[in-house]
Amino acid sequence: MDKRYDAVIVGTGAAGLYAALNFPESVSVLLISKRELPLSNSSLAQGGVACVLDTVHDNYKLHINDTLVAGKYKNTLSAVEKLVKEGPADVLRTKDLGVDYDLNPDGTMCKTLEAGHSRHRIVHHKDSTGKAIVDALIEQVRKLPNVDILENALLYSMHKTLGGFYLSVLKDGKSLYYGCNYCLLATGGIGRVYQYTTNSAIATGDGIAFAYMLGAKIRNLSRVQFHPTAFAAEANRERFLISEAVRGEGAVLLNCNGERFAHNYDKRGELAPRDVVSNAIAREALRTNSEKFYLDITHKPADFIKSRFPMIYAKCLEEGIDITKEWIPVYPCQHYLMGGIDVNLHSETSIDGLYAAGECAHTGVHGANRLASNSLLEALVYSRTAAEDITRKLQKYGRKPLGLEPAHRPITGKKMPSGFRSQIRAILQDTYFVLPKPEKYDESYKKVEEIIKQLFSESYEISSDLVEAKSIAIVASIILDEVREGQS
């Protein structure tokens, strides 16, 4: 064993970083980042953080109700209440930690409106709120004397013992080995299970796969959110998001004929929840026999657009679209996961000592469909909760002996054949997208199961390709099995 810690955090998005900041200095922590610290889905979050800071014009009941409506009342009410009531304090703490939220002249935080919200309650930093949060938290985490940071390190094996966990990590071509009493998985989403996603390159569901292999309960993995307005760049697998806030500021959706259509499918039009708008686009595509759709915000002053959405303006300009003068080509693509590793209100999984927070966790907050800008709030609230609960247990029980170390598997082996990940992505994109194809569920499930057999039957060389292929295969298998059994 290279080193032993009280707690290991796997993942360095908002959840992993904020958890690290909520441990006292008496707790030794290892923070494992699959790539560089700033690379995470959290960094890509644009719109902002939903929270009730203005109790004169807003209240907890309204935020709770908006969350339940968007989630089709399949949410866990106690989890939503915890999120909404505790969230504002966490948001204000991130401000104290250096997050540069946009402010009004009187010093209060600017609040915008997004789809599904009944009040202006989304605080933000321009159109790159996630990056502002992650960058500020990274700066603070680097100062912590009790936290070691391991970047460009791939977790490839987890073993549960009576007293905790042993984790095998690949870094710079070498295997490192760590022990801990408690482990927090904050590994983000599953976007790379699909051909097209707004997620970062590292979103391959690794934490969910490791938890599943340890025997943890996984719930509602088939509750996948497709964002209606990703930039329709045909060549790129990773598609950048045209934030909900653009529609919140008045952008309208147009079909291939330049006609507004969203109100034909839902009276809330462009400001309906994400799944409703995605469904409207998919159905309109069938009606018009075209996948050409656009967002139009050209009626707003150019200076306002550039100031409010500088990142979106710049990224669209790189693609040859000036959004102050031209329509933005958009189409739905995979964006977020509402299900994941099942946890309770303390962020505990069904495995003793194992916690999960952020997108990889299923708290029950989002129900069947996430309300815009509740994701960063959930990451903050439930990662802080995990850190607090682990700290309580360490104070109560102390450092427990870890137990016997398992046998080490060599990292050498034959090279994994290429093509497994591409096959899985094509299967999910075709079978389980905005308008699913139930007639293909059984056949697709069998194909993925066959890939899993091939991946696990051979002693391939340990590499990121192998780990990520196994992860997305396991995730795809769980999703397809759930929809086959009608569990979604």
The per-residue pLDDT for range 165-185, each reduced to its tens digit, is: 999 999 999 999 999 999 999
pLDDT at 356 over 70: yes
Instruction: Evaluate whether 3-223+338-397 and 230-332 have a shared fold.
Output: no
- State in Å, rounded, how far the first CA of the chain is from the last one: 41
Q: What pLDDT is attached to residue 234?
A: 67
**Mean pLDDT calculated for residue range 344-371:** 97
Q: What pLDDT is attached to residue 235?
A: 63
Identify the CATH assignment for 3-223+338-397 out of 3.30.70.520, 3.50.50.60, 1.10.760.10, 3.40.50.970. 3.50.50.60
**Using 50, 70 and 90 to split pLDDT, how confident is the model at 250?**
very high
pLDDT at 427 over 60: yes
Q: What pLDDT is attached to residue 236?
A: 61
- Give the lowest-confidence range in 63-77, 205-219, 223-237, 370-384: 223-237
Q: What pLDDT is attached to residue 238?
A: 67
**Using 50, 70 and 90 to split pLDDT, how confident is the model at 260?**
very high
Q: Do residues 310 and 46 lie in contact, with contact meaning Cβ atoms separated by under 8 Å? A: no
**Using 50, 70 and 90 to split pLDDT, how confident is the model at 381?**
very high
pLDDT at 478 over 60: yes
pLDDT at 488 over 60: no
Its CATH class, for the domain covering 230-332, is alpha beta
Rounded Cα distance between 468 and 34, Å, is 11
Q: Report the percent of the chain where pLDDT is more than 90.
A: 86
What tens digit of pLDDT does each residue of 119-158 get?
A: 999 999 988 899 999 999 999 999 999 999 999 999 999 9
Q: Do residues 91 and 132 lie in contact, with contact meaning Cβ atoms separated by under 8 Å? A: no
Domain boundaries, the chain: 3-223+338-397, 230-332, 420-484
Rounded Cα distance between 362 and 356, Å, is 8
Q: What pLDDT is attached to residue 237?
A: 58
Q: What pLDDT is attached to residue 33?
A: 96
> Is there a catalytic annotation at residue 274?
yes
**Using 50, 70 and 90 to split pLDDT, how confident is the model at 45?**
confident
What tens digit of pLDDT does each residue of 267-312 get?
A: 999 988 888 999 999 999 999 999 999 999 999 999 999 999 999 9
Q: What pLDDT is attached to residue 46?
A: 75
β-pair partners for 174:
171
**Using 50, 70 and 90 to split pLDDT, how confident is the model at 240?**
confident
**Using 50, 70 and 90 to split pLDDT, how confident is the model at 83?**
very high
pLDDT at 359 over 70: yes
Q: Taking Cα atoms as reference points, which of 128, 146, 145, 147 lies closest to residue 136?
A: 128
Q: Which of 223, 274, 308, 384 is catalytic?
A: 274
For the chain, the three-class secondary structure string (H helix, E strand, C coil) is CCEEEEEEEECCCHHHHHHHHCCCCCCCEEEECCCCCCCCHHHHCCCCEECCCCCCCCCHHHHHHHHHHHCCCCCCHHHHHHHHHHHHHHHHHHHHCCCCCCECCCCCECEECCCCCCCCCEECCCCCHHHHHHHHHHHHHCCCCCEEEECCCEEEEEEECCCCEEEEEEECCEEEEEEEEEEEECCCCCHHHCCCECCCCCCCCHHHHHHHHHCCCEECCCCEEEEEEEECCCCCCECCECCHHHHHCCCEEECCCCCECHHHCCCCHHHCCHHHHHHHHHHHHHHHCCCCEEEECCCCCHHHHHHHCHHHHHHHHHCCCCCCCCCEEEEEEEEEECCEEECCCCCECCCCCEEECHHHEECCCCCCCCCCCCHHHHHHHHHHHHHHHHHHHHHHHCCCCCCCCCCCCCCCCECCCCCHHHHHHHHHHHHCCCCCCHHHHHHHHHHHHHHHHHHHHCCECCCHHHHHHHHHHHHHHHHHHHHHCCCC
The CB-based long-range contact list for 477-481 (8 Å cut-off, 24+ gap) reads 477/445, 477/448, 477/449, 477/452, 478/208, 478/212, 478/218, 478/221, 478/222, 479/193, 479/221, 479/222, 479/224, 479/428, 479/432, 480/222, 480/428, 480/431, 480/432, 480/441, 480/444, 480/445, 480/448, 481/445
